[in-house]
Structure 1
Amino acid sequence: MIRKELRIILLSLGISLLLTTAKFTAYFVTHSVAILSDALESIINVVAGGFACYSIYLSGKPKDANHPYGHGKVEFFSIGFEGAMIFIAGCLILFKAAQYFIHQPVLEEVDQGIWITGGTAMANALLGLYLVRAGKKLPSITIAGNGQHILTDAYTSAGLIVALVLIHFTGQTWIDPAVSVIMGLLILRKGYQLMRQSISGLMDETDMQVVDRVIAILNEHRHRTWIDVHNMRVQQYGIDYHIDCHVTMPYYLELSRAHEEMKAFEELVDRELNGHEVEFFIHIDPCIPASCQHCQLSECPVRSHPFRSKVTWSRENVLPNHKHID
C-alpha cells in the first residue's frame, strides 16, 4: 500500500511542477499580480508534495523499540508543514497586492493569461479530485490533504479567470490586486485549517466521528456479556487507531472465556473499521450488584437485582470513567 501511496504522490508532484511552470509563464506574459499569487501558491504544492513523499515513506516503516506506536504521526507533521507554507504564501500575496494598489502595473496579453490559467485550473481540479478519492480509499490523510489543497488552488484559479475576463473587457486594472487580496485571504484560511488539523492530531485530540462510529458498531453487535463500556479513548496514528476502554463483564467468567469475549470485541471493531489497523488496550472490570439492572444475561446465576433496561451507549456514557450503575 505504501508503494501505491508513493506512486500517487509522485504523480501529484510531477504534475504540480509542470503547472507551476505554466503559471509563472502566464505571469511573465501578463505581469498580473493575481496570476503571480496563483503561481506562488503552486510552488507550495510542489514543496508540500516533496514533504508528503517523505512522510508517506516514514509512516510506512514498522513499529520499533523507539516508536512503539509506529511512525504514522509524521503525517500530521506533513499537513502542518503544508499549512504553514500555505499561510506564508498568503502573507506574501497580500504584501504584493498592497504594493500593486500603490503602483498599478500595465497588464499585457491578458487573453493569453486567461487560456493558460484556465488550462491549469482544469488540470488541478482533475488532479485534486483524484487525490481526495484516492486518499479516502487507501486511506491516507496526507494524500487526501494534498488533494484538498490542490482543489483549493483550482477554485482560486477559477476566480482568477473571472477577474481576468473582467479586466480584458473593462480595462479596470485595479481588479487585479483586489482579486489578489481575496485570494490571499482564502489561502490564509486554508493554511490555518491545515495547521489546526495538524495540531489536533499531534495533541491527540479525540476525533468524535471515529468515536461515534465505534460506539455505533458496539451498539449494533454487542454481546450480552458486555454489560458496560466506559472510559473509552481513541487516538490516531496516521491512518491507524489505538483504542483504550474498560468493559464490565460478569465477575464469575473464567479467564479463558473472558479472553475470548475480548478477542471477539477487538475483531468486531477491527473488521468494521476496514482499512484501518486498530490496536486495543482493554481493561476488564468485574460486575457489581448495581450492574444487574442493565445486565441482559437472564440466566445469570448470581443476579441480585432484576433487569430494568438496556443501556444504549453514547458519547455521554462511554467516554467518562465510571460504570453505568444508575
Structure 2
Amino acid sequence: MQISNRKTKVALLSICSNTVLIILKVMAGILSGSVSIISEAIHSSMDLVASLIAFMAVQKSSKPADRDHPYGHGKIENISGIVEGLLIFIAAGMIVFEAVKKILEPAEIEQAWIAIAVMATAAVINYFVSRTLYKVAKEEDSMALEADALHLKTDVYTSLGVGVGILLIKLTGFVVLDSIVAILVALLIVKEAWALCYNALEYLIDIRLSDEEEQEIRAVIEKIKNDYASQLMDYHKLKTRKSGNIRHIDFHITVDPTLSVKDAHEIVGCFKKELCERLKNTRVSVHIDPYTPLGDNREADDSDGDDNY
C-alpha cells in the first residue's frame, strides 16, 4: 500500500501542475493571439488527460492478484501507456490544423512578453515535475508514471520552443514563425507518441526482459547450479516477460532422479530467493525434470518454445 500511495501522490502532482498550466496558457493564448501558445494549451490538455489516466492506472495496477487476475493487474499500466500515446497523436493533429489555419489567415502577436513569460514558467514547472515523476517511475518501475513524465519532458522543450519563436517574431516581425514553431511542436510530440506506444506494446505482447537482466538471471542460475553440482545437472527453457512492474521468470532444471521432494524443493527455494533478491518485483516459476542418461532431459514433447542455455 505504501508504494501505491507514493505513486498516487506523484500522479496527483502531475494533475495539479497540468491544470494550472492549461489555465495560464489559455489566458496567454487569448491575450496574444498566438497559435503556438494555443497549441501548447492543447498539448497540456492532453497531458492532463494522460495524468488522469496515469493516476487511475497506478491505483488499479497496484491491486494484488485475485481469482480473476491470478497474475495481478500490472498490464493496466502498459495499456495506459498506449492510450496516452494515442492522445498525443490526436493533440499533434489538432495543433497542425490550427497552425495551417493561422498561415492562411495570419494575425499579429499581441502581449508578446506576457506570452514569453508564461512559456518560460511552464517550462520550469514541467521540468521539476517531470524529474519527480521520472524518479518515482524508475524506483517503482511504473510505465504509467514514466509515460506521464515523458509527456511533461516534451512539454518543457515545446514550451521553450514556443517562447523562442514568439521572441523571434517580436524581433523580426515575421508572423508566420508562430505557425512554423507550432508545426515543429507537433512533429516533436508525434515522435514522443510513437516511442511511447511502441514501448508499451512490447510489454503487452510479452517481450522478454533486457539482455542485461537475462545475463543477471543466468549468472544467478549458474551460481546455484555450481552450489548443487552433484544434484543439479542443467537448466533449460529459460523464458522471461514483464507485466507492469512485475518480472516473470520461468525455466526448467534437470535433477538427480533419486533426489527427495524435500531436497528438490530446497533447490527451487534457493533459485526463488536469490533471483527475487537480485531483481525486485520478480515472480519465479521452476519446473523440475528428472535426469535420464539415455533420454532427452529437455522434454522433447514439450512444444512451448526453444530450449535456451
The verdict on a shared fold, with TM-score over 0.5 as the criterion, is yes
1: CA distance between counterparts of 2:308 and 2:147?
A: 39
Match for 2:57 among 55, 58, 64?
Answer: 55
Give 3-state SS (helix, strand or coil) of 2:36's partner. Answer: helix
Q: Does 1:214 align with 2:217?
A: yes
Structure 2 contact 89–193 (Cα < 8 Å) conserved: yes
Structure 1 residues 1-326: aligned runs within 5 Å: 1-209=3-211, 210-219=213-222, 222-225=225-228, 226-274=232-280, 276=281, 278-289=282-293, 321-322=306-307
User: Which sits farther off after the overlay, 123-132 or 281-290?
Assistant: 281-290
Query: What is the match of residue 300 of structure 2?
Result: none
Give a deviation string over 1:35-70, Cα, whole Å, max 9, x none: 111111111111111111211111122211111111
- Structure 2 unaligned residues grouped into runs of 5+: 296-303
Per-residue deviation, 1:245: 0.9
Change (3 A) 1:28 1:219: farther
CA contact (8 A) 1:247 1:282 kept: yes
CA change 1:176–1:236 in 2 (3 A) is same
Give the AA of the match of 1:34: S
State the 1:289 CA deviation.
4.0
SS at match of 1:284: strand
Asked if 2 retains the 8 angstrom alpha-carbon contact of 1:63 and 1:70, the reply is yes
Q: Which amino acid is 1:203 matched to? A: I
TM-score (norm 1): 0.84
Letter in 2 for 1:242: H
* 1:230–1:321 CA contact under 8 A, matched in 2: no
Check conservation: 2:35, 2:178, Cα contact below 8 A: yes
Tell me how far apart the structure 1 counterparts of residues 143 and 23 of structure 2 sit (CA, whole Å): 27
Match of 1:62, SS state, is: coil
| Secondary structure in 1 matching 2:70 | coil
Query: 5+ residue gaps in structure 1?
Result: 292-318
Task: Return the alpha-carbon distance in structure 2 between the equivalents of residues 27 and 214 of structure 1.
Answer: 53
Q: Cα gap change, 1:253/1:41 in structure 2, threshold over 3 Å: closer, same or farther?
A: same
Q: 1:195 deviation in Å?
A: 1.5
| In 1: Cα distance, 2:47 partner to 2:240 partner | 31
Aligned to 1:223, the other structure's residue is in SS state: helix
SS in 2 for 1:114: helix
Taking structure 2 as the reference length, what is the TM-score of the superposition?
A: 0.89
Using the alignment, how far apart are the partners of 1:43 and 1:153 within structure 2? 11
Task: Tell me the secondary structure at the aligned position of residue 145 of structure 1.
Answer: helix
Q: CA deviation at 1:239?
A: 0.8
Question: Is the alpha carbon distance of 1:24 and 1:217 closer, same or farther for their aligned partners in structure 2, counting shifts above 3 Å?
Answer: farther
Deviation of 1:123 (Å): 0.6
- Distance in 2 separating the partners of 1:112 and 1:217: 59
Instruction: Mark the CA change 1:170 to 1:272 in structure 2 (over 3 Å): closer, same or farther.
Output: same
Check the 8 A contact 1:91/1:188 in 2, yes or no. Answer: no
Report SS of the residue matched to 1:67. Answer: coil
Contact in 1 for aligned 2:12/2:55 (Cα 8 Å): yes
Change in Cα spacing, 1:34 to 1:63, as seen in structure 2 (3 Å) is: same
Other structure's SS at 2:174 match: coil
Q: 1:21 to 1:264 in 2, by over 3 A?
A: same
Alignment check: 8 A CA contact 2:238 2:307 kept: no
1:221 Cα deviation after fit:
5.7
CA distance in 2, matches of 1:174, 1:38: 17
Residue 301 of structure 1 corresponds to none
SS in structure 1 opposite 2:247? strand
- Identical pairs, percent: 28
C-alpha distance in 2, partners of 1:106/1:206? 54
SS at match of 1:173: coil
